[in-house]
Amino acid sequence: MTKRKYRADLDLLTAKELKLLNEACKAIEKFVKKSPEINKQNLATRDAHATSYAFVKGRFQLYNSFEEKEIFPAKNLDCLIRISNAHMKIVRPNRTVPAYGFSVKLSEKDTTIANFPLVNFPLFPIVDVSRFLQLFISINNYFSEAAFRKFWNLFKILQNFLYIIPDTLNVSFQSQVIRFLRQWRNFILSFDYHSIGVYRMGDNLIKLRLVPIHIPKKYQDNKIDLSIESYLREHKIYEAELQAQYCYDEKYQPVNFLNKMWKKSEYVPVGKIIITEFLNKNDLALEALSFNPFDNIAALQPVGKLQRLRDAAYKTSLETRNKINKS
């Protein structure tokens, strides 16, 4: 089968979407500025994934069998990973839904090659970009605006949630929800992690998946301990395989409809991530890092309308929190 190639029109936002994106960036800036008060900590945090569970580092080994290995500048790259929770506020592990972020930074001699922000749920429930932005704006405003505005913003949140329900009522999405609920109590390192959207692999279109290797059985069915440091202390190493799923036909592998699993495309092994070192999660230099996938090399850039939104959101969040934390 012929792999589908990147086209610029896959990224295009409408005038309405661009206007809402600008409003969303203003809402992000407002939220981040108020985040020290919201989180009750003297630290401005990200607009999302504010709770860092761990920073770990190791290396990425590219497989010789991967056909497009010339895209990567070296067979062995440095790897830094931030593991977090998807909530906008800093939350305690026992008080939140186990929705995790697994942001991977690959680099060579301090030069970023790729940022892959991955999550442990493979689908995104909202198809309409404008509807997502309206929901996102109302959630940010709920947390950051004055108390008397909370009722209005809560109403807008509920209204927008109602609009997106139809996007979740398909077999593909519901089956993944059931699968997620069955894994609810699993250990944080035992999950598969997925790209929220699509990336380029050279000129081809791919989705990414990270699959853990040899996680002991006891960690697969018990939420024993969210301490990743304890796991590495006991087992010395964490390994996961990075895999790519190629787009051949947008009927079965749609780029801008992320509420359905891709069909008729097998995952191809790309390389292996090997983590051996736990870092101090309270290190402000680590917390200040950005995992913006638009900082990737040209051959590994994000693709799609939702990804375009993330570029602006990451930059606004990073610039605002760094400015506050340095003041």
**What's the pLDDT tens digit per position in 121-139?**
999 999 999 999 999 999 9
Distance of CA 133 to the CA centre of its chain: 17
Task: Give per-residue pLDDT as tens, 70-124.
Answer: 999 999 999 999 999 888 888 776 667 788 999 999 999 889 999 999 999 999 9
Amino acid at 160: N
Listed ranges 186-190, 213-217, 296-300; the one with the highest mean pLDDT: 296-300
Confidence band for 294, pLDDT divided at 50, 70 and 90: very high
Q: State the average pLDDT for the chain.
A: 91
pTM: predicted TM-score of the whole model, two decimal places: 0.92
Residue 292's φ and ψ, nearest 5 degrees, are -70, 115
DSSP, collapsed to helix, strand or coil, labels residue 264 as coil
Residue 104, beta-bridge partner list:
81, 116
- CATH class in words for 8-321: mainly beta
Task: Give per-residue pLDDT as tens, 53-63.
Answer: 899 999 999 99
Q: Go through the chain and tell me how many residues it has.
A: 327
pLDDT score of 225 more than 60: no
Confidence band for 269, pLDDT divided at 50, 70 and 90: very high
- Which of 9, 1, 81 is CA-nearest to residue 49? 81
Q: Domain locations in the chain?
A: 8-321
Residue 194's φ and ψ, nearest 5 degrees, are -125, 150
- Predicted pLDDT of residue 272: 98
- Predicted pLDDT of residue 289: 87
pLDDT score of 157 more than 60: yes
Percentage of the chain beyond pLDDT 70 is: 96
| CA separation, residue 163 to residues 132, 149, 187, 255, 317 (Å) | 10, 22, 33, 21, 27
Mean pLDDT for the stretch of residues 297-304 = 97
pLDDT score of 222 more than 60: no
- Residue 205 CA to residue 173 CA, distance in Å, equals 22
- Residue 327 CA to residue 318 CA, distance in Å, equals 14
- Predicted pLDDT of residue 223: 56
Strands (E), 159-203: 193-195, 198-201
Confidence band for 50, pLDDT divided at 50, 70 and 90: confident
pLDDT score of 147 more than 70: yes
List of residues 6+ apart from 230 with CB closer than 8 A: none
- Predicted pLDDT of residue 95: 61
- Residue 301 CA to residue 68 CA, distance in Å, equals 15
Rounded (10°) angle between helices 305-326 and 15-39 = 40
Handedness of CA 178, 184, 186, 192 (dihedral sign): positive
Confidence band for 167, pLDDT divided at 50, 70 and 90: very high
Confidence band for 256, pLDDT divided at 50, 70 and 90: very high
Structural Rg of the chain based on CA atoms:
19
How many Cβ atoms from other residues are within 10 Å of residue 306's Cβ? 20
Mean pLDDT for the stretch of residues 298-314 = 94
- Predicted pLDDT of residue 93: 64
Amino acid at 234: E
Instruction: Answer whether 258's CB lies under 8 Å from 208's CB.
Output: no
